[in-house]
Copies of this chain bind each other. A is one copy, B any other.
Amino acid sequence: MASIDPLLENSRTALGAIADSAAQFIAARREAQVGGGASDAEVNARLQVYDFSHATPLRTLAAEVFELLGTHAVRSDHPRYFGLFNPPSLPAAIAGDLIAATVNPQLAVRSHAPAAVEIERKLLRTFGTRIGWAADEVSGAFTSGGSEANHTALLAALARRYPEWPEHGLRSITTRPAIYVSAQAHLAWIKIARSAGLGSDAVRLVSTRDGMRLGGQTLASFVATDAGYDPMLVVATAGTTAHGAIDDLSGIAAVARNLGAHLHVDAAWAGGAMLADEGQALLCGIEKADSVTIDPHKWLCVPMGAGMFLSRDWRPLETAFAVSTDYMPSASRKQRDPYIHSLQWSRRFIGLKLFIALANLGIDGYAEMIRRQLGLGRYLHSALLARGWQVLNESPLPLVCFAPDTTTPDRQDTVVRRIVDHVVATGVAWLSTVDLRGRLVIRACITSYETTQADVDLLLELLDEARTRASILAVGEPS
Protein backbone atom coordinates (compact mmCIF):
# COMPACT_ATOMS: atom_id res chain seq x y z
CA MET A 1 0.00 0.00 0.00
CA ALA A 2 1.19 3.48 -0.78
CA SER A 3 2.04 5.68 2.15
CA ILE A 4 -0.65 8.10 3.25
CA ASP A 5 1.78 11.00 3.43
CA PRO A 6 1.28 12.29 -0.14
CA LEU A 7 -2.47 12.09 0.39
CA LEU A 8 -2.22 14.12 3.59
CA GLU A 9 -0.08 16.69 1.84
CA ASN A 10 -2.53 16.86 -1.04
CA SER A 11 -5.40 17.43 1.39
CA ARG A 12 -3.47 20.11 3.25
CA THR A 13 -2.86 22.11 0.10
CA ALA A 14 -6.53 21.74 -0.89
CA LEU A 15 -7.79 23.69 2.13
CA GLY A 16 -7.63 27.09 0.43
CA ALA A 17 -9.67 25.92 -2.55
CA ILE A 18 -12.26 24.32 -0.28
CA ALA A 19 -12.64 27.55 1.66
CA ASP A 20 -13.12 29.32 -1.68
CA SER A 21 -15.92 26.84 -2.35
CA ALA A 22 -17.35 27.69 1.06
CA ALA A 23 -17.29 31.37 0.10
CA GLN A 24 -19.08 30.50 -3.14
CA PHE A 25 -21.62 28.41 -1.27
CA ILE A 26 -22.40 31.45 0.87
CA ALA A 27 -22.69 33.72 -2.16
CA ALA A 28 -25.01 31.27 -3.90
CA ARG A 29 -27.35 30.45 -1.06
CA ARG A 30 -29.86 33.12 -2.00
CA GLU A 31 -30.39 31.32 -5.33
CA ALA A 32 -31.02 27.91 -3.75
CA GLN A 33 -34.38 26.30 -3.07
CA VAL A 34 -35.13 26.79 0.62
CA GLY A 35 -36.69 23.38 1.05
CA GLY A 36 -34.73 20.51 -0.46
CA GLY A 37 -36.72 17.90 -2.26
CA ALA A 38 -34.96 14.55 -2.21
CA SER A 39 -36.54 11.40 -0.90
CA ASP A 40 -34.86 9.24 1.72
CA ALA A 41 -34.18 6.62 -0.94
CA GLU A 42 -32.40 9.19 -3.08
CA VAL A 43 -30.23 10.33 -0.17
CA ASN A 44 -29.28 6.79 0.73
CA ALA A 45 -28.50 5.95 -2.88
CA ARG A 46 -26.16 8.94 -3.00
CA LEU A 47 -24.40 7.76 0.15
CA GLN A 48 -24.04 4.17 -1.06
CA VAL A 49 -20.84 4.98 -2.94
CA TYR A 50 -19.01 5.94 0.23
CA ASP A 51 -17.87 2.59 1.53
CA PHE A 52 -14.46 3.87 2.72
CA SER A 53 -12.74 1.11 0.77
CA HIS A 54 -10.33 3.45 -0.99
CA ALA A 55 -8.82 6.91 -0.75
CA THR A 56 -10.59 9.81 -2.48
CA PRO A 57 -9.12 13.24 -3.18
CA LEU A 58 -10.35 15.86 -0.75
CA ARG A 59 -11.43 18.33 -3.43
CA THR A 60 -13.70 15.75 -4.99
CA LEU A 61 -15.24 14.90 -1.64
CA ALA A 62 -15.74 18.51 -0.68
CA ALA A 63 -17.53 19.31 -3.94
CA GLU A 64 -19.79 16.28 -3.54
CA VAL A 65 -20.64 17.07 0.06
CA PHE A 66 -21.38 20.75 -0.58
CA GLU A 67 -23.77 19.63 -3.31
CA LEU A 68 -25.34 16.89 -1.19
CA LEU A 69 -25.90 19.11 1.85
CA GLY A 70 -26.98 22.07 -0.23
CA THR A 71 -29.64 20.07 -2.03
CA HIS A 72 -31.02 17.52 0.39
CA ALA A 73 -31.96 19.76 3.28
CA VAL A 74 -34.13 22.56 4.49
CA ARG A 75 -31.71 25.42 3.88
CA SER A 76 -31.85 27.15 7.23
CA ASP A 77 -29.03 29.39 5.98
CA HIS A 78 -31.30 30.86 3.29
CA PRO A 79 -32.42 34.50 3.60
CA ARG A 80 -36.02 33.37 3.15
CA TYR A 81 -35.86 30.68 5.81
CA PHE A 82 -38.32 32.10 8.34
CA GLY A 83 -38.13 29.11 10.65
CA LEU A 84 -36.31 28.17 13.83
CA PHE A 85 -33.29 30.02 15.17
CA ASN A 86 -30.65 28.35 13.03
CA PRO A 87 -29.23 31.32 11.19
CA PRO A 88 -26.53 31.26 8.53
CA SER A 89 -23.00 31.43 9.88
CA LEU A 90 -21.18 34.75 9.58
CA PRO A 91 -18.04 34.41 7.44
CA ALA A 92 -15.86 35.69 10.28
CA ALA A 93 -17.35 33.10 12.61
CA ILE A 94 -16.67 30.37 10.05
CA ALA A 95 -13.07 31.57 9.95
CA GLY A 96 -12.91 31.42 13.75
CA ASP A 97 -14.22 27.87 13.69
CA LEU A 98 -11.68 26.96 11.02
CA ILE A 99 -8.82 28.33 13.11
CA ALA A 100 -10.07 26.45 16.18
CA ALA A 101 -10.19 23.25 14.13
CA THR A 102 -6.69 23.82 12.77
CA VAL A 103 -4.90 24.73 15.98
CA ASN A 104 -7.20 22.43 17.97
CA PRO A 105 -6.28 23.55 21.48
CA GLN A 106 -7.92 21.57 24.24
CA LEU A 107 -9.75 23.62 26.81
CA ALA A 108 -9.64 21.29 29.78
CA VAL A 109 -6.74 22.99 31.55
CA ARG A 110 -5.53 26.54 31.38
CA SER A 111 -1.84 25.66 31.27
CA HIS A 112 -2.19 23.99 27.86
CA ALA A 113 -3.99 26.89 26.21
CA PRO A 114 -3.79 30.11 28.24
CA ALA A 115 -4.64 32.44 25.35
CA ALA A 116 -7.69 30.38 24.40
CA VAL A 117 -8.92 30.28 27.99
CA GLU A 118 -8.45 34.03 28.41
CA ILE A 119 -10.30 34.75 25.16
CA GLU A 120 -13.30 32.82 26.43
CA ARG A 121 -13.17 34.58 29.79
CA LYS A 122 -13.08 37.93 28.05
CA LEU A 123 -16.21 37.00 26.10
CA LEU A 124 -18.02 35.83 29.21
CA ARG A 125 -17.17 39.15 30.89
CA THR A 126 -18.33 41.10 27.83
CA PHE A 127 -21.74 39.43 27.91
CA GLY A 128 -21.94 39.35 31.70
CA THR A 129 -21.48 43.11 31.86
CA ARG A 130 -24.07 43.62 29.08
CA ILE A 131 -26.42 41.67 31.36
CA GLY A 132 -25.62 44.21 34.05
CA TRP A 133 -23.29 42.27 36.33
CA ALA A 134 -19.95 43.52 37.63
CA ALA A 135 -17.07 42.29 35.48
CA ASP A 136 -15.33 40.57 38.37
CA GLU A 137 -18.34 38.49 39.37
CA VAL A 138 -18.87 36.94 35.93
CA SER A 139 -18.01 33.30 35.50
CA GLY A 140 -19.37 30.46 33.43
CA ALA A 141 -18.50 28.24 30.52
CA PHE A 142 -18.96 27.81 26.82
CA THR A 143 -21.19 24.85 26.01
CA SER A 144 -22.33 22.80 23.03
CA GLY A 145 -25.56 24.78 23.06
CA GLY A 146 -28.47 26.04 25.13
CA SER A 147 -29.41 22.59 26.29
CA GLU A 148 -26.04 22.01 27.96
CA ALA A 149 -26.07 25.56 29.35
CA ASN A 150 -29.51 25.07 30.90
CA HIS A 151 -28.40 21.68 32.18
CA THR A 152 -25.46 23.41 33.84
CA ALA A 153 -27.86 25.86 35.48
CA LEU A 154 -29.80 23.04 37.09
CA LEU A 155 -26.63 21.39 38.39
CA ALA A 156 -25.32 24.70 39.74
CA ALA A 157 -28.64 25.27 41.50
CA LEU A 158 -28.51 21.80 43.06
CA ALA A 159 -24.91 22.37 44.16
CA ARG A 160 -25.84 25.70 45.76
CA ARG A 161 -28.80 24.45 47.70
CA TYR A 162 -27.93 20.94 48.81
CA PRO A 163 -24.48 20.53 50.34
CA GLU A 164 -24.74 16.73 50.40
CA TRP A 165 -25.72 16.43 46.74
CA PRO A 166 -22.26 16.24 45.12
CA GLU A 167 -21.19 13.27 47.17
CA HIS A 168 -24.39 11.53 48.15
CA GLY A 169 -26.73 12.57 45.37
CA LEU A 170 -30.45 13.16 45.45
CA ARG A 171 -30.95 10.42 48.04
CA SER A 172 -29.47 12.84 50.58
CA ILE A 173 -32.23 15.38 49.90
CA THR A 174 -35.32 14.91 51.99
CA THR A 175 -37.44 17.45 50.12
CA ARG A 176 -38.59 17.11 46.53
CA PRO A 177 -36.57 19.51 44.36
CA ALA A 178 -38.57 21.15 41.60
CA ILE A 179 -38.02 23.42 38.62
CA TYR A 180 -40.63 26.08 37.91
CA VAL A 181 -40.82 27.10 34.31
CA SER A 182 -43.37 28.37 31.83
CA ALA A 183 -45.33 25.76 29.89
CA GLN A 184 -44.05 27.66 26.84
CA ALA A 185 -40.39 27.15 27.78
CA HIS A 186 -38.11 24.90 25.77
CA LEU A 187 -38.92 21.27 26.46
CA ALA A 188 -35.25 20.48 26.82
CA TRP A 189 -36.01 21.08 30.51
CA ILE A 190 -37.78 17.71 30.53
CA LYS A 191 -34.65 15.96 29.25
CA ILE A 192 -32.51 17.91 31.67
CA ALA A 193 -34.65 17.01 34.69
CA ARG A 194 -34.59 13.36 33.67
CA SER A 195 -30.83 13.44 33.18
CA ALA A 196 -30.36 14.96 36.63
CA GLY A 197 -32.37 12.15 38.20
CA LEU A 198 -35.21 14.44 39.24
CA GLY A 199 -37.61 12.92 36.75
CA SER A 200 -39.76 14.78 34.29
CA ASP A 201 -42.41 15.38 36.94
CA ALA A 202 -40.00 17.70 38.76
CA VAL A 203 -40.50 20.15 35.90
CA ARG A 204 -43.50 22.15 37.03
CA LEU A 205 -44.88 23.63 33.84
CA VAL A 206 -46.73 26.82 34.67
CA SER A 207 -49.48 27.72 32.20
CA THR A 208 -49.33 31.33 31.16
CA ARG A 209 -52.40 33.58 31.17
CA ASP A 210 -52.13 34.54 27.51
CA GLY A 211 -50.69 31.23 26.34
CA MET A 212 -47.35 32.91 25.73
CA ARG A 213 -45.70 35.00 28.45
CA LEU A 214 -45.22 33.99 32.06
CA GLY A 215 -45.98 36.71 34.62
CA GLY A 216 -44.70 36.93 38.17
CA GLN A 217 -48.21 36.82 39.66
CA THR A 218 -49.13 33.71 37.71
CA LEU A 219 -45.96 32.01 38.86
CA ALA A 220 -46.47 33.01 42.49
CA SER A 221 -50.04 31.68 42.52
CA PHE A 222 -48.98 28.43 40.89
CA VAL A 223 -46.16 27.80 43.36
CA ALA A 224 -48.39 28.64 46.31
CA THR A 225 -50.81 25.85 45.42
CA ASP A 226 -48.25 23.33 44.15
CA ALA A 227 -47.85 21.37 47.34
CA GLY A 228 -45.11 18.89 48.07
CA TYR A 229 -42.28 20.42 46.07
CA ASP A 230 -39.15 22.31 47.00
CA PRO A 231 -38.84 25.19 44.50
CA MET A 232 -35.07 25.23 44.06
CA LEU A 233 -34.89 26.56 40.51
CA VAL A 234 -37.04 29.15 38.78
CA VAL A 235 -36.54 29.63 35.06
CA ALA A 236 -37.64 32.62 33.03
CA THR A 237 -37.45 32.45 29.25
CA ALA A 238 -36.39 35.46 27.20
CA GLY A 239 -37.63 34.61 23.73
CA THR A 240 -39.75 31.46 23.62
CA THR A 241 -39.29 29.22 20.61
CA ALA A 242 -42.95 29.14 19.67
CA HIS A 243 -44.04 32.76 20.10
CA GLY A 244 -40.97 34.86 20.92
CA ALA A 245 -42.41 35.76 24.30
CA ILE A 246 -40.22 37.36 26.94
CA ASP A 247 -41.35 36.33 30.39
CA ASP A 248 -41.81 39.00 33.07
CA LEU A 249 -38.19 38.93 34.19
CA SER A 250 -38.49 41.35 37.10
CA GLY A 251 -41.73 39.84 38.37
CA ILE A 252 -40.31 36.34 38.21
CA ALA A 253 -37.10 37.50 39.88
CA ALA A 254 -39.13 38.78 42.82
CA VAL A 255 -40.90 35.44 43.15
CA ALA A 256 -37.60 33.53 42.99
CA ARG A 257 -36.12 35.78 45.65
CA ASN A 258 -39.08 35.20 47.96
CA LEU A 259 -38.75 31.46 47.46
CA GLY A 260 -34.99 31.50 47.96
CA ALA A 261 -34.71 29.75 44.61
CA HIS A 262 -31.95 30.00 42.03
CA LEU A 263 -33.13 32.21 39.15
CA HIS A 264 -32.00 31.19 35.70
CA VAL A 265 -32.90 33.13 32.57
CA ASP A 266 -32.90 31.10 29.38
CA ALA A 267 -32.07 33.80 26.86
CA ALA A 268 -30.68 31.29 24.37
CA TRP A 269 -32.18 33.20 21.47
CA ALA A 270 -32.89 36.77 22.62
CA GLY A 271 -29.77 37.10 24.75
CA GLY A 272 -27.69 37.74 21.65
CA ALA A 273 -29.74 40.87 20.99
CA MET A 274 -28.24 42.44 24.11
CA LEU A 275 -25.31 43.57 22.00
CA ALA A 276 -27.71 46.28 20.74
CA ASP A 277 -29.00 48.83 23.23
CA GLU A 278 -32.54 48.21 21.94
CA GLY A 279 -32.13 44.51 22.63
CA GLN A 280 -30.69 45.18 26.05
CA ALA A 281 -33.73 47.29 26.91
CA LEU A 282 -36.06 44.42 25.96
CA LEU A 283 -34.39 42.16 28.51
CA CYS A 284 -34.61 44.59 31.40
CA GLY A 285 -34.60 42.61 34.65
CA ILE A 286 -32.21 39.95 33.39
CA GLU A 287 -29.52 41.42 35.66
CA LYS A 288 -31.41 39.95 38.62
CA ALA A 289 -30.67 36.40 37.43
CA ASP A 290 -28.20 34.12 39.17
CA SER A 291 -27.35 32.61 35.81
CA VAL A 292 -28.18 33.09 32.14
CA THR A 293 -28.04 31.03 28.95
CA ILE A 294 -27.12 32.79 25.70
CA ASP A 295 -26.50 30.81 22.51
CA PRO A 296 -24.08 32.56 20.17
CA HIS A 297 -25.14 30.02 17.54
CA LYS A 298 -28.59 31.55 17.53
CA TRP A 299 -28.89 35.30 17.09
CA LEU A 300 -25.16 35.91 16.88
CA CYS A 301 -24.83 33.69 13.82
CA VAL A 302 -21.80 31.62 14.71
CA PRO A 303 -21.76 28.00 13.54
CA MET A 304 -23.26 25.41 15.84
CA GLY A 305 -22.65 24.38 18.56
CA ALA A 306 -21.99 27.38 20.71
CA GLY A 307 -23.79 28.09 23.95
CA MET A 308 -22.78 30.19 26.92
CA PHE A 309 -23.62 29.54 30.53
CA LEU A 310 -23.12 32.79 32.42
CA SER A 311 -23.07 32.83 36.18
CA ARG A 312 -22.49 35.32 38.96
CA ASP A 313 -20.81 32.72 41.09
CA TRP A 314 -18.17 30.19 40.12
CA ARG A 315 -18.36 28.25 43.37
CA PRO A 316 -21.40 26.07 42.60
CA LEU A 317 -19.78 25.14 39.29
CA GLU A 318 -16.69 23.99 41.10
CA THR A 319 -18.78 22.08 43.62
CA ALA A 320 -20.58 20.29 40.82
CA PHE A 321 -17.69 19.67 38.45
CA ALA A 322 -14.29 19.74 40.14
CA VAL A 323 -12.52 16.40 40.29
CA SER A 324 -8.91 15.86 41.21
CA THR A 325 -6.81 13.68 38.99
CA ASP A 326 -3.12 13.10 38.82
CA TYR A 327 -2.90 13.21 35.05
CA MET A 328 -4.35 16.68 34.63
CA PRO A 329 -1.23 18.84 34.55
CA SER A 330 -2.21 21.83 36.63
CA ALA A 331 -3.27 23.17 39.95
CA SER A 332 -6.84 23.10 38.75
CA ARG A 333 -8.67 24.94 41.49
CA LYS A 334 -6.13 27.72 41.71
CA GLN A 335 -6.14 28.21 37.94
CA ARG A 336 -9.90 27.70 37.67
CA ASP A 337 -9.32 25.27 34.86
CA PRO A 338 -12.27 25.12 32.46
CA TYR A 339 -12.92 21.42 33.06
CA ILE A 340 -13.82 22.04 36.70
CA HIS A 341 -16.52 24.56 35.69
CA SER A 342 -18.20 22.57 32.96
CA LEU A 343 -19.99 19.34 32.11
CA GLN A 344 -17.43 18.73 29.38
CA TRP A 345 -13.82 17.72 30.02
CA SER A 346 -11.50 18.12 27.02
CA ARG A 347 -13.38 20.68 25.03
CA ARG A 348 -13.25 22.42 21.69
CA PHE A 349 -12.28 26.09 21.62
CA ILE A 350 -15.93 27.04 21.14
CA GLY A 351 -15.45 30.70 21.99
CA LEU A 352 -13.09 31.53 19.14
CA LYS A 353 -15.78 31.82 16.47
CA LEU A 354 -17.64 34.34 18.60
CA PHE A 355 -14.45 36.22 19.43
CA ILE A 356 -13.48 36.64 15.80
CA ALA A 357 -16.99 37.56 14.69
CA LEU A 358 -17.22 40.14 17.47
CA ALA A 359 -13.79 41.57 16.74
CA ASN A 360 -14.58 41.62 13.02
CA LEU A 361 -17.95 43.39 13.25
CA GLY A 362 -17.43 45.20 16.50
CA ILE A 363 -20.31 45.51 18.93
CA ASP A 364 -21.69 48.29 16.72
CA GLY A 365 -21.74 46.03 13.67
CA TYR A 366 -23.64 43.33 15.53
CA ALA A 367 -25.98 46.00 16.90
CA GLU A 368 -26.72 47.20 13.38
CA MET A 369 -27.55 43.64 12.32
CA ILE A 370 -29.85 43.18 15.31
CA ARG A 371 -31.62 46.50 14.78
CA ARG A 372 -32.19 45.63 11.15
CA GLN A 373 -33.78 42.31 12.12
CA LEU A 374 -35.93 43.90 14.82
CA GLY A 375 -37.08 46.41 12.21
CA LEU A 376 -37.93 43.69 9.70
CA GLY A 377 -39.98 41.94 12.37
CA ARG A 378 -41.99 45.11 12.94
CA TYR A 379 -42.38 45.54 9.20
CA LEU A 380 -43.67 41.97 8.80
CA HIS A 381 -46.09 42.51 11.67
CA SER A 382 -47.57 45.71 10.19
CA ALA A 383 -47.66 44.39 6.65
CA LEU A 384 -49.56 41.29 7.75
CA LEU A 385 -52.13 43.47 9.49
CA ALA A 386 -52.39 45.70 6.43
CA ARG A 387 -53.02 42.64 4.27
CA GLY A 388 -55.83 41.47 6.49
CA TRP A 389 -54.10 38.79 8.54
CA GLN A 390 -54.68 38.37 12.25
CA VAL A 391 -51.48 38.78 14.25
CA LEU A 392 -51.77 36.70 17.39
CA ASN A 393 -48.60 37.28 19.39
CA GLU A 394 -47.12 40.48 20.75
CA SER A 395 -43.41 39.83 20.74
CA PRO A 396 -40.94 42.71 20.46
CA LEU A 397 -38.64 40.12 18.87
CA PRO A 398 -38.79 39.50 15.12
CA LEU A 399 -41.17 36.55 15.37
CA VAL A 400 -44.77 36.88 14.25
CA CYS A 401 -47.57 34.37 14.84
CA PHE A 402 -50.57 34.90 12.62
CA ALA A 403 -53.54 33.32 10.89
CA PRO A 404 -56.02 34.25 8.22
CA ASP A 405 -58.74 36.49 9.59
CA THR A 406 -61.40 33.88 9.04
CA THR A 407 -64.97 33.75 10.24
CA THR A 408 -64.74 29.97 10.52
CA PRO A 409 -62.35 29.35 13.40
CA ASP A 410 -63.13 25.63 13.37
CA ARG A 411 -61.41 25.42 9.99
CA GLN A 412 -58.37 27.40 11.10
CA ASP A 413 -56.06 24.43 11.61
CA THR A 414 -56.77 23.01 8.17
CA VAL A 415 -56.42 26.33 6.42
CA VAL A 416 -53.22 27.23 8.25
CA ARG A 417 -51.66 23.89 7.41
CA ARG A 418 -52.58 24.30 3.76
CA ILE A 419 -51.16 27.78 3.59
CA VAL A 420 -47.85 26.73 5.09
CA ASP A 421 -47.63 23.63 2.91
CA HIS A 422 -48.23 25.75 -0.14
CA VAL A 423 -45.55 28.30 0.74
CA VAL A 424 -43.00 25.62 1.62
CA ALA A 425 -43.76 23.68 -1.57
CA THR A 426 -42.75 26.66 -3.70
CA GLY A 427 -39.17 26.30 -2.43
CA VAL A 428 -39.04 30.10 -2.30
CA ALA A 429 -39.55 30.52 1.44
CA TRP A 430 -39.82 28.32 4.51
CA LEU A 431 -41.89 28.81 7.60
CA SER A 432 -43.81 26.64 10.01
CA THR A 433 -46.87 26.25 12.16
CA VAL A 434 -47.13 26.37 15.91
CA ASP A 435 -49.79 25.96 18.54
CA LEU A 436 -51.21 29.08 20.17
CA ARG A 437 -53.89 28.57 22.80
CA GLY A 438 -54.96 25.30 21.22
CA ARG A 439 -55.11 26.49 17.63
CA LEU A 440 -52.61 26.15 14.84
CA VAL A 441 -51.11 29.43 13.68
CA ILE A 442 -48.41 30.39 11.22
CA ARG A 443 -45.01 31.27 12.68
CA ALA A 444 -42.52 33.44 10.80
CA CYS A 445 -39.22 34.45 12.32
CA ILE A 446 -36.49 36.69 10.90
CA THR A 447 -33.39 34.54 11.35
CA SER A 448 -30.88 35.55 8.70
CA TYR A 449 -28.66 38.62 8.67
CA GLU A 450 -29.12 38.55 4.90
CA THR A 451 -32.91 38.85 4.95
CA THR A 452 -34.08 42.05 3.28
CA GLN A 453 -37.38 43.86 3.09
CA ALA A 454 -37.74 42.47 -0.43
CA ASP A 455 -37.51 38.95 1.03
CA VAL A 456 -40.25 39.77 3.50
CA ASP A 457 -42.37 41.23 0.68
CA LEU A 458 -41.93 38.04 -1.31
CA LEU A 459 -43.04 36.00 1.69
CA LEU A 460 -46.09 38.22 2.07
CA GLU A 461 -47.05 37.69 -1.56
CA LEU A 462 -46.68 33.93 -1.25
CA LEU A 463 -48.80 33.98 1.89
CA ASP A 464 -51.56 36.02 0.25
CA GLU A 465 -51.62 33.69 -2.72
CA ALA A 466 -51.68 30.62 -0.48
CA ARG A 467 -54.49 32.10 1.60
CA THR A 468 -56.60 32.62 -1.49
CA ARG A 469 -56.02 29.06 -2.68
CA ALA A 470 -56.66 27.59 0.75
CA SER A 471 -59.91 29.55 1.10
CA ILE A 472 -61.15 28.38 -2.27
CA LEU A 473 -60.31 24.78 -1.39
CA ALA A 474 -61.98 25.10 1.98
CA VAL A 475 -65.34 26.29 0.61
CA GLY A 476 -67.96 23.62 0.85
CA GLU A 477 -65.69 21.09 2.55
CA PRO A 478 -66.64 19.53 5.82
CA SER A 479 -64.65 21.20 8.56
Q: Does A176 contact B (CB under 8 A)?
A: yes
A104 and B7: CB pair below 8 A? Answer: no
> A197's contact among B91, B197, B364, by CB below 8 Å, is which?
B197
Count of chain A residues with a beta carbon within 8 Å of a chain B beta carbon: 152
Q: A55, B169: Cβ atoms under 8 Å?
A: no
Nearest CB on B from A338, distance (A): 12
Q: Which of A219-227, A282-290, A348-356, A454-462 contacts B (4 or more CB under 8 A)?
A: A348-356
Chain B residues with CB under 8 A of A344: 144-145, 147-148, 305
A345–B144 Cα gap in the complex (Å)? 10
Residues of chain B contacted by A164 (CB below 8 angstroms)? 199
Apart from the given pairs A43-B115, A52-B359, 19 other A-B contacts in the complex at a CB distance below 8 Å? A4-B368, A14-B91, A16-B17, A16-B19, A22-B99, A25-B102, A55-B364, A58-B356, A58-B360, A62-B99, A68-B115, A69-B105, A76-B105, A97-B101, A167-B199, A167-B201, A195-B343, A303-B348, A329-B432
CA distance A402 to B113 in the complex (A): 27
- The answer to whether A147 and B52 have CB atoms under 8 Å apart is no
Q: A32 to B7, alpha carbons, bound, how many Å?
A: 23
Tell yes or no: A392 within 8 A of B by CB: no
B196 touches A361 (CB 8 A): no
A110 CB → nearest B CB, Å: 9
- A27 at the A/B interface (Cβ < 8 Å)? yes
Query: Which of A183-191, A208-216, A381-389, A470-478 binds B?
Result: A183-191
Give me the 9 closest cross-chain CB pairs, A-B, nearest first: A197-B197, A169-B199, A19-B19, A101-B303, A11-B91, A304-B348, A16-B20, A170-B197, A72-B115
Asked if residues A356 and B106 are in contact (CB atoms below 8 Å), the reply is no
Of the candidates A23, A72, A111, A186, the one having the most CB atoms from chain B within 10 angstroms of its own CB is: A23
Contacts of A200 in B (CB 8 A): 166-167
Given contacts A97-B101, A104-B86, A115-B72, contact A198 B197 (CB under 8 A): yes
20 pairs, A vs B, C-beta closer than 8 Å: A4-B361, A4-B368, A8-B90, A18-B95, A25-B102, A52-B359, A53-B362, A56-B359, A58-B360, A65-B355, A70-B103, A73-B116, A89-B104, A94-B98, A145-B344, A151-B343, A165-B199, A187-B325, A194-B321, A329-B432
Closest chain B residue to A53 by CB distance?
B362
Number of copies: 2
Which residue of B14, B54, B172, B323 is within 8 Å of A190 (Cβ)? Answer: B323
Interface residue ranges of A18-44 to B (CB < 8 Å): 18-20, 22-23, 25-27, 36, 38, 40, 43-44
Question: Which residues of A from 72 to 98 have beta carbons under 8 Å from B?
Answer: 72-74, 76-77, 84, 86, 88-98
Chain B binder among A118-126, A245-253, A257-265? A118-126
Instruction: Give the one of A7, A65, A201 with max B CB within 10 A.
Output: A65
The reply to whether the CB of A408 lies closer than 8 angstroms to some CB of chain B is: no
- In the bound assembly, the distance between CA atoms of A241 and B116 in angstroms comes to 23
Contact: A355 with B94, CB < 8 Å? no
Among A55, A144, A151, A369, the one with the most B-chain Cβ atoms within 10 Å of its Cβ is A144
CA gap between A196 and B171 in the complex, in Å: 12
A residues 291-305 near B (Cβ < 8 Å) are 297, 303-305
Complex: A355 Cα to B345 Cα, angstroms: 24
Does chain B have a CB within 8 A of A358?
A: yes
Q: Return A479 CB to nearest CB of chain B, in Å.
A: 21
Measured CB to CB, the nearest residue on chain B to A25 is B102
Q: Is A400 an interface residue (CB 8 A)?
A: no
In the complex where A84-B327, A187-B325, A197-B196 touch, is A56 in contact with B112 (Cβ < 8 A)?
no
Complex partner residue of A106 from B86, B197, B365, CB under 8 angstroms = B86
